Amino acid sequence: MTQLVAGVDSSTQSCKVTIRDAATGAVVREGRAAHPDGTSVDPRHWWDALGAAVADAGGLTDVGAVAIAGQQHGMVALDADGHVVRDALLWNDVRSADAAAQMVEEIGRDSWVARTGLVPVASFTGTKLRWLRDAEPDNAGRVAAVALPHDWLSWRLRGYGPADESPLGPDLDALATDASDASGTAYWDPVRREYDPELFELALGRPMRVAGSEPTADTVVVPRVVAHDEAMGTLDVDVALPNGAVAPSGLVVAAGLGDNAGAALGLGLAPGDIAVSLGTSGTVFGVTATEVLDPSGTVAGFADGTGSRLPIVTTLNAARVLEVIGGLLGVDHDALGELALQAPAGADGLVLVPYFVGERTPNRPDATASLLGMTPGTTDRPHLARAAVEGMLCALADGLAAVEGTGVTVSRLLLIGGAARNEAVRTVAAQVFGRDVLIPEPGEYVASGAARQAAWALTGALPSWDIATTTVPADPHPEVLEQYRAAAR
């Protein structure tokens, strides 16, 4: 009998649900719902979108297990009654940049790397807690628990929440997460695989305790970390989702994971595989069994969804670069790509440094974009389109170099995300990266990874799902990256 599993990708922009055959990974049906724009969002919108996406996917009544992958780092602060204290600050909210700098100064860059595998920047949860402590002390005083987006959604899906909105009420000790998402908080140690209480208190100014442990006075609950191949639990009651959808009693809710770990699991990445993901933001990540330490803070040594490491570099500007320049030129992504291919590699010296919303890597939260090399011959539509594609990819090529600099071997390079479907992006990637670029068949790989984890929790074995790829042969043009690096200094 066919067993079905569901995977959820609750991203910055939308919620996507994929329902698959647990054995083969074949897609049975899918659903989607939008999230609101902004870097500070009421989590209720994610809950509403989850219900709408589940309904759009035909419901969960025939599904055996579900897992939620979510955008990392978002600060979801809850009071003792399970209500959200304030809008969640998302990963791309940079108001905590000064707080991050203060925290680095207080204990030193090397100490942060040794204890968490990262150096705090505005994206990480701990810096947002410090900002909350300093900017909104009344709200900080109300905080009884701190969760991440996927933790909170899984908690709600399991029937918990404010008493008047959920069947099981505000049991904060039921909060749970996984190692991949915990490792992006800046108060979790990926070596010992446990929280660092001193770093949490350094952030919020109050002590923490792990959900399920003995209650103590004035402590703030953080979710317990569930093993990647285990479940958070099985529903004992039917849970009503918004939009009329229902999570039925008996549904297994797997641990879930951070979005990049979800994509790695969905792609089936093995050591030596590196993925470059082109969403609104950009990421370069892979899987390795060895410890990843980068004193510069460029590469974060997260955990993945299988018990290994997930070295990762993240930029704030990826597909948004194409959207901004496409908007300026009055064209969509496809037409922008056609224009870009009309200009030569290197765009005759026109370089776009694409820091439109500041940047996370390098850590320049207040930076703006720059266009250099403008001459009468380069200031036209094709050259500007080409510079946009090259600028986006060169920033990520620097990320790839940083990952390799930690000792991670790169045997295969995979290009994913919506922008990877653009022919110009594929062509330029093979030039900028200077190696073969593998393009997996189009798919929602974060949601697929969550579904694969759900199958693992349901059956006790991680299934192997085949993925077809096409190869764009290497066409090295090192001058493109060289001129970008000179402009971006």
Phi, psi of 17 (to 5 degrees): -125, 130
Length of the chain: 489
What is the distance between the alpha carbons of residues 233 and 117, in angstroms, rounded to a whole number? 29
Which residue type does 293 have? L
**Of 9, 259, 294, 398, which one is the catalytic site residue?**
259
What is the distance between the alpha carbons of residues 391 and 277, in angstroms, rounded to a whole number? 15
Coil, helix or strand for 237?
Answer: coil
What is the distance between the alpha carbons of residues 322 and 110, in angstroms, rounded to a whole number? 36
What is the distance between the alpha carbons of residues 321 and 405, in angstroms, rounded to a whole number? 26
Coil, helix or strand for 34?
Answer: strand
CB 318 within 8 A of CB 392: yes
SS3 annotation, 88-111: EECCCCCCCHHHHHHHHHHHCHHH
CB 257 within 8 A of CB 449: yes
What is the distance between the alpha carbons of residues 299 and 297, in angstroms, rounded to a whole number? 6
Catalytic annotation on 259?
A: yes
What is the distance between the alpha carbons of residues 277 and 283, in angstroms, rounded to a whole number? 5
Contacts 24+ apart (CB under 8 A), 268-271: 268/464, 268/465, 268/467, 269/414, 271/308, 271/409
Coil, helix or strand for 49?
Answer: helix
Coil, helix or strand for 371?
Answer: strand
Coil, helix or strand for 482?
Answer: helix
Structure tokens at 236: 């004992």
Which residue type does 428 have? V
CB 446 within 8 A of CB 8: no
Structure tokens at 314: 């993240």
Residue 196: name the closest of 144, 125, 260 by CA: 125
User: Which sequence positions are flagged as catalytic?
Assistant: 259
